Amino acid sequence: MNENLINDLSRNNMISIGIIGLGYIGSGVLKLIESQKEYIKKKTGKLISIKRVVDKDIIEKAAMFEPLFGDEIIFSSNADDIINDPAIDIVVELVGGIDPAYTYVINSLKNGKYVVTANKDMIANKGESLFSAAAGNDVDILFEASVGGGIPIIGPMKSSLAANNISKIIGILNGTTNYILTRMQKEGLNFENALSVAQELGYAEKVNPSADIEGNDAACKLAILSSIAFNSRVVFGEVYKEGIKKITLEDIRHANDLGYVIKLLAIGSDEGGSICVRVHPALIPKDHILASINYANNAVYLYGNFVGEVMSYGQGAGDRPTASSVVGDIIQIARNFDRQHKKPIFGCTCFANKPIKPIDEMENKFYALMEVKDRPGVLAKIAAVFGGNNVSIESMIQKQTQEGGSAKIVFITHRVLNKDMFKSVKEIIKLDVVNQVLNIIRVEDLQ
């Protein structure tokens, strides 16, 4: 064996990492790689070392970590120090958001570096151009941690489940909203109080929790999963979104009486050439496995034509679970690493171009809570509006009579087009026998 080949083999067994962003997750990744270095070496046959770390608050971060690592790691505040360093093999982007993270990642890929990221916003909005840049430079971008924290789902979908046609994904993809709804269900907290507790515990942002409670976070994750599952690019803006701010304790109690719990679901489905992608609260049966996913936990439930039903469950956020997925992607690259003959690990799987079906054209069952006048003829007038818009009623319960001559009624419809349901609601609101429509929530029987 000639000396050059020996040197090439030796260099391939040593992989240098650059981390951009040493916050909550980045610190976890650094600690995990260093603490598990020998274990990872035994698993991969490669010595993985962190060469450079970049952070905007680098003086503070360097003071924290230099006593642990000495001169082994070079700290700086300029991302180009990593992007343009020819000795860096893998760039780990943990800045978050789209800008400037996208610039860091696209330039890293163009420089022939593999990239690992936990950045759901970037992948859900800019995935197509990133995968194109990766393919054009014979590298790849891995992003297991962008969905579900430590839950393994993206890798399995691209490998062990890759032979299946996946027809549907149903996920509880946001720990904050799941925590809030669980506290409402189990302890009778109203939405505001449950949100306040979530903020105090760090599950929700204290200043602006809208990304979670309005469904944006879950929509990014659903766009990523749907792109992989249905082999067609789905971006964040194409996902229909409703949050949980309108969910009341009254809705939680009525759902319980009817045999349901309320969850914020992310649902993607391939319906014969078109894709449905939606995030919204839904009543789901108490006996379905997703109803048991409580507090800050996440779950992804999918249907494959050969594997059948599969569910992944676990902690959807946090420094340790997310770092676990980030380092898992690094190990995946390391196992296949050849500096002289680079190639994609999974590559982009979006070979189709399927249209997104508008929410109005989707079918759902619905829960409707109304406050009406307590007098004869009310139900006939409401039923006439429903019937005139092709909405049929599966069940109806009068929950209580109120002071002042009003009553509350819960309707559950059969499956109807969304546009027909919401046209009905607009007309029902105008009826003289209806005081107000308090809430409309979709019902998912998950059969």
Between helix 58-69 and helix 24-35 the angle, nearest 10°, is: 10
Distance from C-alpha of 210 to C-alpha of 154, rounded to nearest angstrom: 26
Out of 221, 241, 354, 365, the active site residue is 221
Positive/negative CA dihedral, 299, 304, 310, 314: negative
Torsion, CA 171, CA 175, CA 177, CA 179, rounded to 10? 120
The yes-or-no answer on residue 221 being catalytic is yes
Tokens coding 54: 């970049």
CA distance 7 to 108: 25
The gap from C-alpha 409 to its chain's centroid, in whole angstroms, comes to 34
Q: How far apart are CA 25 and CA 369, in angstroms?
A: 42
Return d(Cα 179, Cα 200) in angstroms, integer.
Answer: 12
Tell me the torsion sign for CA atoms 250, 256, 259, 265. Answer: positive
Token pair for 386 = 């429903």
Q: Which residues are catalytic?
A: 221
